[in-house]
Structure 1
């Protein structure tokens, strides 16, 4: 029997088939790891390592990578890798892609992933990625909107460690998905550690990735965060979370001091008493808005809207705020004082101690240095209005201001305080200097200021309208420093038609008999013929150029200096009755001591008797010399003008 020979063509076909079968039997998916690592490393800009790779082929193909590690960028100090996971699984729907060219991932699952986001003291970090071209640039229009569909995204016991020295941040995030509350897994996050040097704790329940893909299902979020004494609660939904559009979110802020919000918001706030604010939060066109909020800051109410634009290097903040009632003590942080009072509701024990200490210290003018870093942290445009002002002995009825803070320079244009039918308003500018000081300029107008409101704060009575102007140009590191170095002037006047409590005038001349009658309310007022006060400010020394009060029965003048740098007073007030009065002691009153503890006494060395009009005109020599140069409506009143004429005539007769 002859042996049959194998056809040559079958031999040529069988060898390749055998080789393919052999390759399939011996093939290991790990052989593809170098290719995967290379492409992943190039995409992330960080070395990527995979220990093993397994693939289960099928209609839905499953790829599993074990011991995945994403390292830090080149040049970053040796530290824990950016990310690592013992196991990562991705499922890919092959048939969906074959029929519809759609990328569908039924499952992405990460087991025990760990992330270590770190920064160094010089600002380098391992978590900033360079994206190169903007997403989709140069791609066909139809591919820009094509995104993978992810049915289930699951994280099993993940953890993220955050260490950023510049932010004084060292906290850990626990991250996991929950399946028990909704059909789709929700992402649960908890935080613990420190941020901005304060303890931080928090928890959040967020919608999973499926919400990012469903146009008709807004992304839910429920966040509660405590950073030191500050508490933040955010709850609601976002219609388009990838664009942060269509937010329907309620934001509640509570804490002991709004200045502690800066690390959380990037917006600089002055020191305040305790606060509680609630309102709506939304985001559109690159701007976050905290709108229609209302709440309390200390004893004051506050409503309005704050808008923050974050597209530039420095945030741009626009705020439109209003208070129906405000306690000026709550605004003390704006000028470097300790805000609030010991009686302010909700103050912490520490805040009460600080206020009490501030009230007992020897200095009165605020000497807290102006924080230049806070001034440059954002550009701020503020409109604020207070309908009424609370506080013991406060002479102001209302307040409004427009403030612009740009590149560290502050402008208030104007700051206006209502006093009765008139107002005190002015333009104020603070410009940073290289030596951590600020250049300060202020021009303040007193327009028909109601004397009755000012006198009410002194315990006396009076009526009439005061006008005038104050100017200052100075530099310093605090309000006390600025005033203690200042140059400028102050002029005030009240021409005819007003009146003052007779007790005030009588005490200024030590007219003991009439003072007693004034206590008995007989008489209780004296007519003001003319009032002028004119002062110069040189290097913090407020010097009297003229102080004159002419009433129907007494002439009062004053001279002396007020040292704003040392907060000391050296002043003398002289008076001369136009008529003989029993009980008058024609001795000057001296005012000395400090702002916190002034001394009032009698200058017994100057007790020479004066008589009648000649003596009265004698004490008017200095005021009459400067009175014609003051132009705030004083010269237009015939009573002030007649006083000038009398003085000039009297001087000519002597």
Structure 2
């Protein structure tokens, strides 16, 4: 039997699918070439109607081309030309978004695929572009599609080369109170090469302040070739002149720009007011810095300059975010002039330089700053600022240096923490919170003085540093309402306390404590003590209610006397009304320990060591002398020396008057609360004067 052979497997025709694929690809290429040829020959003019319908539908705007229309590949990039073209604005905006007599452009095909939107060539004749936000800064004209869609940031395509003639760009933002119109000067080009720079100039209005802008792209041919373009920009307005120079990656490309800014003017506050940002007033200034843009941030780095007689360096960033701008800064000052520091607490620097801090209100001198907080502007921005000042130039005042300021603003809540500085070998530490979310503006002060040598702190007031070993520490905790320092303190409640531990005090001038008649005469004529006053402990404290500070207590225990005070002061009219009295611990034949009056105003205090009580004692003594004998006249000035030494525990703890004790634990009856008796006008009624005599003098 013949051997059977297995049937052969059918051989698959591999060439057939490959041939089919090649045929399909060839057909597609043929169609593309055909389409390209048709478009190239016809210039795509037949697409005018479909273009208007499709683009109008996609943008939800009416798009109209009144003249010639071309859309084709030349040879690989897209050629687009339209005459008498217009695009309407959304219904909420007036006018047209864009219109031009002629638009001629070459668009990168690859950029359309990748979404990079690069225009290699753009020519505009008689063009007008309207960029506008609505009143709530929610919608804008350049965000196409749904007219109620939230507005997107302006993102211009990259334009490599351009020609403009009779072209104007308008921008408006009612919420930012900003309007501007920029015109491009006619620029001619030949074979994608510019014959001159692209110049522009314009004008605008920013928060009621007019400004002008001019400049140009100085090397447009470099831009056309893909290189960097030199920019020159000059801005004038708000009493400010700013020059911006540097390079841009592209004619419409700011991201990553390498720019330099030189800005100068009479007041930095005028410049920032254009942004709706509140900063303290300054004297004339000039600042230079590098500038670049990264995403929503404008970064100013390497900043150096001066304001008034002070220097300033560092960096800061303005971030364009919603709902408020964000400003961050790290600043450094080598020497801050005291006049330039005034505006940070509410003084006008030019007035401060000309006449000092003192003004006159109703015939009385005032020293507390009264410049209002710009609470309305705080709605527009948040901030984080760190500022370090190495030294303060302040002739005649205690040495101030090493200021550290941390400022945080969060939706109108302003926090100054820390606000610390060195003061005459001591240190002030502060935390201040200003709440402008409340229309009344609430301020919380917490200011602390670390133990500081009295000799250096009070050197300008006649205290000799040699021979003075005493120190002072203090704390003020106050809460008040008002948009100025004066107003917030005029309504404040809280406590102020100065604590003096054991030490010595030596003065070059007339001493106001221990006023024995013989010692007083000695000090008045010799003007220098032979020995320092030995202080056991001391407390000068005030309880403040509704802007009125009452002594609570004033108590200083020295080796020979107990000094006590009553009365107070007023933040409302800045008046002083105090009586200080020294009671001897030892027998004194000639005693003048009547109250020493301290009156007047914060800005002009008056000291009266010959008080009404001393005059009364002298009168009584003379009367007794005339009626009885000369010996009787001496009786009025005898001090039996029964002053009770103070328990220093409550004194050093800063305790209030009712907690003060003598060394035997008994409550003190020589300290108590007082109040200024002056009214808002600074005048006293008869009843007030009578009550004041009862409180302060306590004659016999």
Same fold (TM over 0.5): yes
1:452 equivalent to 2:455? Answer: yes
Superposition map of 1:521-560 within 5 A: 521=528, 523=530, 525-552=532-559, 555-560=562-567
Q: Distance in 2 between matches of 1:154 and 1:339?
A: 49
Q: Distance in 2 between matches of 1:313 and 1:180?
A: 43
Tell me the secondary structure at the aligned position of residue 372 of structure 1. Answer: coil
2:127 to 107, 113, 119: 113
1:603 equivalent to 2:620? Answer: no
User: Compared with structure 1, are the counterparts of its residues 389 and 647 closer, same or farther at alpha carbon in structure 2 (3 Å cutoff)?
Assistant: farther
2:237 to 227, 237, 243: 227
User: Compared with structure 1, are the counterparts of its residues 225 and 405 closer, same or farther at alpha carbon in structure 2 (3 Å cutoff)?
Assistant: same
Match of 2:418 in 1: 414
The answer to whether the Cα contact below 8 Å between 2:160 and 2:225 also exists between their aligned partners in 1 is no
User: Compared with structure 1, are the counterparts of its residues 55 and 424 closer, same or farther at alpha carbon in structure 2 (3 Å cutoff)?
Assistant: closer
**Which stretch of the first structure deviates more once superposed, 321-330 or 527-536?**
527-536
The answer to whether the Cα contact below 8 Å between 2:120 and 2:224 also exists between their aligned partners in 1 is no
Per-residue deviation, 1:227 = 1.7
**Which stretch of the first structure deviates more once superposed, 470-479 or 117-126?**
117-126
The answer to whether the Cα contact below 8 Å between 1:432 and 1:439 also exists between their aligned partners in 2 is yes
Per-residue deviation, 1:410 = 2.0
Per-residue deviation, 1:402 = 1.9
1:443 to 430, 442, 446: 446
User: Compared with structure 1, are the counterparts of its residues 160 and 150 closer, same or farther at alpha carbon in structure 2 (3 Å cutoff)?
Assistant: closer
**Which stretch of the first structure deviates more once superposed, 445-454 or 171-180?**
171-180
Q: Distance in 1 between matches of 2:372 and 2:509?
A: 41
1:174 equivalent to 2:183? Answer: yes
1:66 to 71, 78, 83: 83
Superposition map of 1:417-428 within 5 A: 417-428=421-432
Superposition map of 1:571-650 within 5 A: 571-576=578-583, 585-601=592-608, 602-605=610-613, 607-608=616-617, 609=636, 611-612=638-639, 614-617=641-644, 624=646, 628-632=649-653, 644-645=662-663
Q: Distance in 1 between matches of 2:358 and 2:208?
A: 25
Match of 1:203 in 2: 214
**Which stretch of the first structure deviates more once superposed, 44-53 or 294-303?**
44-53
Q: Distance in 2 between matches of 1:69 and 1:80?
A: 11
User: Compared with structure 1, are the counterparts of its residues 130 and 527 closer, same or farther at alpha carbon in structure 2 (3 Å cutoff)?
Assistant: farther
Cα displacement string for residues 352-383 of structure 1 (whole angstroms, at most 9, x for unaligned residues): 6xx77973454332233322233332222222
2:100 to 77, 81, 85: 85
1:461 equivalent to 2:464? Answer: yes
Match of 1:10 in 2: none
Q: Distance in 1 between matches of 2:666 and 2:157?
A: 95
1:495 equivalent to 2:522? Answer: no
Tell me the secondary structure at the aligned position of residue 75 of structure 1. Answer: coil
Per-residue deviation, 1:266 = 5.9
The answer to whether the Cα contact below 8 Å between 1:578 and 1:612 also exists between their aligned partners in 2 is no
1:514 to 522, 536, 541: 522
Per-residue deviation, 1:416 = 1.1
The answer to whether the Cα contact below 8 Å between 2:588 and 2:639 also exists between their aligned partners in 1 is no
Superposition map of 1:7-46 within 5 A: 32-46=47-61
**Which stretch of the first structure deviates more once superposed, 292-301 or 171-180?**
171-180
The answer to whether the Cα contact below 8 Å between 2:207 and 2:276 also exists between their aligned partners in 1 is no
Match of 1:50 in 2: 65
1:370 equivalent to 2:391? Answer: no
User: Compared with structure 1, are the counterparts of its residues 390 and 91 closer, same or farther at alpha carbon in structure 2 (3 Å cutoff)?
Assistant: closer
The answer to whether the Cα contact below 8 Å between 1:460 and 1:504 also exists between their aligned partners in 2 is no
User: Compared with structure 1, are the counterparts of its residues 497 and 179 closer, same or farther at alpha carbon in structure 2 (3 Å cutoff)?
Assistant: farther
User: Compared with structure 1, are the counterparts of its residues 129 and 286 closer, same or farther at alpha carbon in structure 2 (3 Å cutoff)?
Assistant: closer
Match of 2:682 in 1: none
Q: Distance in 2 between matches of 1:104 and 1:452?
A: 73
Q: Distance in 2 between matches of 1:284 and 1:170?
A: 24
The answer to whether the Cα contact below 8 Å between 1:153 and 1:208 also exists between their aligned partners in 2 is no
Superposition map of 1:339-354 within 5 A: 339-341=349-351, 343=353
Q: Distance in 2 between matches of 1:118 and 1:84?
A: 15
Q: Distance in 1 between matches of 2:571 and 2:445?
A: 16
Match of 2:11 in 1: none
Match of 2:9 in 1: none
The answer to whether the Cα contact below 8 Å between 1:329 and 1:341 also exists between their aligned partners in 2 is no
1:322 to 323, 329, 332: 332
Q: Distance in 1 between matches of 2:159 and 2:479?
A: 65
Q: Distance in 1 between matches of 2:484 and 2:61?
A: 48
Match of 1:252 in 2: 262
Q: Distance in 2 between matches of 1:162 and 1:505?
A: 70
Tell me the secondary structure at the aligned position of residue 52 of structure 1. Answer: coil
Per-residue deviation, 1:154 = 0.6
Aligned residues: 579
Structure 1 portions without partners, runs of 5+:
1-22, 133-146, 344-351, 635-642
Q: Distance in 2 between matches of 1:548 and 1:176?
A: 79
Q: Distance in 2 between matches of 1:194 and 1:340?
A: 27
Tell me the secondary structure at the aligned position of residue 400 of structure 1. Answer: strand
TM-score normalized by the length of structure 1: 0.76
2:511 to 495, 505, 516: 505
1:300 equivalent to 2:314? Answer: no
Which of structures 1 and 2 has the bigger CA Rg?
2
Per-residue deviation, 1:531 = 2.5
User: Compared with structure 1, are the counterparts of its residues 93 and 587 closer, same or farther at alpha carbon in structure 2 (3 Å cutoff)?
Assistant: closer
User: Compared with structure 1, are the counterparts of its residues 499 and 151 closer, same or farther at alpha carbon in structure 2 (3 Å cutoff)?
Assistant: closer
The answer to whether the Cα contact below 8 Å between 1:176 and 1:187 also exists between their aligned partners in 2 is yes
**Which stretch of the first structure deviates more once superposed, 63-72 or 222-231?**
63-72
Structure 2 portions without partners, runs of 5+:
1-37, 147-155, 618-635, 656-660, 670-700
Tell me the secondary structure at the aligned position of residue 324 of structure 1. Answer: strand
Q: Distance in 2 between matches of 1:597 and 1:503?
A: 19
Per-residue deviation, 1:229 = 0.7
Tell me the secondary structure at the aligned position of residue 279 of structure 2. Answer: coil
Cα displacement string for residues 186-218 of structure 1 (whole angstroms, at most 9, x for unaligned residues): 432212243222221121223688767866x23
Cα displacement string for residues 321-372 of structure 1 (whole angstroms, at most 9, x for unaligned residues): 12111123323333232235554xxxxxxxx6xx779734543322333222
**Which stretch of the first structure deviates more once superposed, 284-293 or 501-510?**
501-510
Per-residue deviation, 1:632 = 4.8
The answer to whether the Cα contact below 8 Å between 1:570 and 1:593 also exists between their aligned partners in 2 is yes
TM-score normalized by the length of structure 2: 0.72
The answer to whether the Cα contact below 8 Å between 2:69 and 2:82 also exists between their aligned partners in 1 is yes
Per-residue deviation, 1:220 = 2.6
User: Compared with structure 1, are the counterparts of its residues 391 and 596 closer, same or farther at alpha carbon in structure 2 (3 Å cutoff)?
Assistant: same
Q: Distance in 1 between matches of 2:433 and 2:43?
A: 74
Per-residue deviation, 1:64 = 4.1
Per-residue deviation, 1:110 = 0.7
1:395 equivalent to 2:398? Answer: yes
Superposition map of 1:259-338 within 5 A: 259-265=269-275, 267-284=277-294, 286-338=296-348
Per-residue deviation, 1:238 = 4.1
Q: Distance in 2 between matches of 1:430 and 1:539?
A: 18
Q: Distance in 1 between matches of 2:531 and 2:336?
A: 33
Q: Distance in 2 between matches of 1:389 and 1:57?
A: 70
Q: RMSD over aligned Cα, in angstroms?
A: 4.1
